[in-house]
Amino acid sequence: MRNLIAFVLRYQGVMLFVLLEVVSLFLFVINSSYQRAAVFNSANAYAGQLLARRTEVADYFRLNDLNQQLLAENARIRQLLYQPDYAHREADSLPVGRDTLGNLIYRHLQPYPKGLGPPVRAVAASDRRPDSLLLGGVKLASHDEDFPLIGARVINNSLRSVDNYLTLNVGAADGVEPGLGVVAATGVVGRVKSVSEHYATVVSLLHSKTAVATRIKRDGTFGSLRWPGDDYRYALLDYIPRQNKLVQGDTVITSGYNAVFPAGVFVGTVESFVKEVDKNFWTVQVRLGVDFSRLTYVYVVHNRARPERDSLETALVNELNPPKGGATAKPAATAKRAAPKPSAPAPPARFVPQTGLMSKAMAAEQAALQKTKDQVAAAQAELLKLRTEAAKAKAAAAKAAQAAAAPKPVAPLGTRPVETTPNSPSQR
């Protein structure tokens, strides 16, 4: 016993060092995951108040800058109040119908509106493209009553780390919840991570785990935006197929696929794009619209429709991917359902490239889903193989089917799941 005490005393430095180092690394790793101990973040009351005081003092030195930002934003908001040019335009030469409330009827959505009768040239009715004059009249996202905005002040911000966070001066008392989107006047900012009574922390767009579902405004190509971790002014746009044409300066907006951000929020502009030999997709660099180094006022976007939409989409995925096929697929599928959901319902699997700001937990869940999908695909391939075997002569067909059928059905499912979904044409 005395030896033991002597040993402990002799190596107390090393042992304490190892213990403390393990504790700190554990805290650091825990911190990276979506959910974490509520105590250790700047949303807790004391740190939040301290940072708020600091911001109050620092404000006096940046009043001019803040005024400029407010001025620009006020100008933009006032602009929205004015009637646009096309508000009362009568397109007499174009077949535009109005319903009984006086709203425009979009011909590409309803080919035969009431009161108008069948179009003059019936041939073109099916493939009629939307009238580009009318596209200007589409409701702006900020007007959409499903997306009320909560104005907030950024009281802490970082942009030099690999994983950056913001702290806002709004909290649960103002209606902020974890998982809501955060936008600024100039574009997408991030997603609320955790909330206390009067403060909220936000996972910035400048975070290694974030991905925003985006779309190129000009032709509607959708892709996923992520931040490589070096320069806070630029991000990368993934999953733009090589055959698509890109133009420098193309506008990138949110696609609204993940129900965090409303569709059509500005994200940035295409700065440069490179075709790489070994990739199926363009490497696109996007200049972000938000200047994170001067971010002051932001809005928390509340999507009223999100819970309903998420539950519907989850049900769809469960229906589309029943745990059929081999017995190997079953445990993974049941585990997926039994897994406790984080605060927000998990996004459906078919949105893999487009999921919003993805956390580690969500990514893991999606990886599990993808695995299940692959297993189902493998089982289907096996079925296919059996059928072909029956049809053709046994000896000759067996080898070829095994070689050809096994990898094929897996590839399209694994690489680009969006294209296999039934509703992808309507997204274009």
Partner 1 sequence: MSVVLVLARQLFRFALYTSVYVLLVSQLKLFEVGWCFFYLGFLLFLPINTPVAVQLLLGFGTGLAVDVTFDTGGLHAAAAVLLMYLRPYVIALLTPRDGYDTQDTVNVHQMGWQWFLVYLLLLVSVHHITYFFLELGSFRHPLLTFTRIGASILFTGAAMLIVQLLFFPVRRGRRS
Beta carbon of residue 11, minimum distance to partner 1 (angstroms, whole number):
10
Cβ closer to partner 1: 200 or 253?
A: 200
Amino acid at 350: R
Beta carbon of residue 66, minimum distance to partner 1 (angstroms, whole number):
16
Query: Looking at 135-246, which runs of residues are DSSP E strands?
Result: 149-157, 165-168, 181-184, 187-195, 200-204, 212-216, 222-226, 234-238
Cβ closer to partner 1: 25 or 140?
A: 25
Cβ closer to partner 1: 167 or 224?
A: 167
- Closest residue by Cα to residue 417 from 384, 377, 378, 360: 377
Site string for partner 1, 333-372 (x = CB under 8 A): ----------------------------------------
Site string for partner 1, 8-27 (x = CB under 8 A): ----xx--xx--xx-xxxxx
Beta carbon of residue 230, minimum distance to partner 1 (angstroms, whole number):
5
Residues between 145 and 204 that touch partner 1 (CB under 8 A): 156, 158, 160-163, 165, 167, 201
First to last CA, the chain: 76
Is the distance from CB of 150 to CB of 300 less than 8 angstroms?
yes
At residue 213, φ and ψ (nearest 5 deg) are -70, 115
Beta carbon of residue 46, minimum distance to partner 1 (angstroms, whole number):
8
Cβ closer to partner 1: 28 or 82?
A: 28
Beta carbon of residue 363, minimum distance to partner 1 (angstroms, whole number):
15
Place of tokens 């996972």: 203
Beta carbon of residue 168, minimum distance to partner 1 (angstroms, whole number):
12
From residue 4, alpha-carbon distances to 8, 12, 192 in Å are 6, 12, 50
Decide: is 229 part of the binding site for partner 1 (CB under 8 A): yes
- Closest residue by Cα to residue 239 from 214, 219, 203, 261: 214
Beta carbon of residue 357, minimum distance to partner 1 (angstroms, whole number):
16
# chain residues binding partner 1, by CB under 8 A: 38
Cβ closer to partner 1: 11 or 86?
A: 11
Beta carbon of residue 41, minimum distance to partner 1 (angstroms, whole number):
5
Beta carbon of residue 295, minimum distance to partner 1 (angstroms, whole number):
14
From residue 138, alpha-carbon distances to 126, 144, 214, 264 in Å are 22, 11, 18, 11
DSSP code of 62?
S
At residue 383, φ and ψ (nearest 5 deg) are -55, -50
Strand partners, 149: 301
Residues between 42 and 81 that touch partner 1 (CB under 8 A): 42, 44, 47, 50-51, 54, 57-58
Cβ closer to partner 1: 16 or 386?
A: 16
Element housing 314 (H / E): helix 306-320
Both structure tokens of 52: 């708020």
- Closest residue by Cα to residue 200 from 18, 41, 350, 409: 41
What does the alpha-carbon distance between residue 30 and residue 33 come to, in Å, rounded to a whole number?
6
Both structure tokens of 61: 């030195």
Site string for partner 1, 300-329 (x = CB under 8 A): ------------------------------
Q: Which residues bind partner 1 (CB under 8 A)?
A: 12-13, 16-17, 20-21, 23-32, 36, 40-42, 44, 47, 50-51, 54, 57-58, 156, 158, 160-163, 165, 167, 201, 229-230
